[in-house]
Chain A
Amino acid sequence: MNEEREYLEDGITPKEPRHYVMECESGKFEAPKVTYPPFGTAYDQEVIRGQSIQ
């Protein structure tokens, strides 16, 4: 029992009940993003050339 509070005659109910709120932030799990340049860029052409050589 918190002695700072004033209680009703029942001895257990505060005259001014407190209502606590804990705002919880959302968590974030992120996998590394794999991005590719637009199809047809020089990067792709090099890959295609590489494959054709193989």
Chain B
Amino acid sequence: MASPFNKFNSTSASFMNGTHNLATAQLVAMLTPSANPPAAANSVAADLTQISYTNLSSRNITTTSSTQTSGLYKLILQDLLLTASGAVATFRYVVIGNSTASGTPLLCWFDYGADVTLANTETFNIDLDQANGLFSFS
């Protein structure tokens, strides 16, 4: 079952107020445990209670494109495969933020729906929509 896109209250205003340049920004995935879910009122990374990332591969997300066609903007991102090189702390939620902008403002979050505890060599694939993008804006 696909995980719905959840925006933060601050997301729309951050677009309009120049917080992001999504064509050049380095986006990053942040993980939180079930005891500390992201909330709509969160706006920057410091608002989250993230897990320890010991033994986890890079959480940086590669941007494929940030363009519009006939007035429909899409932010297309590559899937992110997280790989464990040892035991990783348990998490459930994935938050995507902009680590280029000051304070790492948050864009959106997804709920896996269950706890995930990665052991050595195990993987967690954040499978992003390659057709419609992380989000579209029309």
Instruction: Give the interface of A toward B (CB within 8 A).
Output: 1-2, 5, 7, 10, 12-14, 17-31
B residues engaging A (CB < 8 A)?
1-5, 7, 12, 15, 86-87, 94, 108, 110, 112, 116-129, 131-138
With A2-B117, A29-B12 in contact, do A19 and B129 touch (Cβ < 8 Å)?
Answer: no
What residues on B are CB-neighbors of A14 within 8 Å? 119-122
Q: Are B110 and A20 in contact (CB under 8 A)?
A: no
In contact, A29 and B136 (Cβ under 8 angstroms): yes
Once the chains bind, are B124 and A20 in contact (CB under 8 Å)?
Answer: yes
Complex partner residue of A22 from B117, B122, B127, B135, CB under 8 angstroms: B127
Q: Which residues of B contact A20 (CB under 8 A)?
A: 112, 116, 118, 122-125
CB < 8 Å neighbour of A23 from B2, B116, B118, B137 = B2
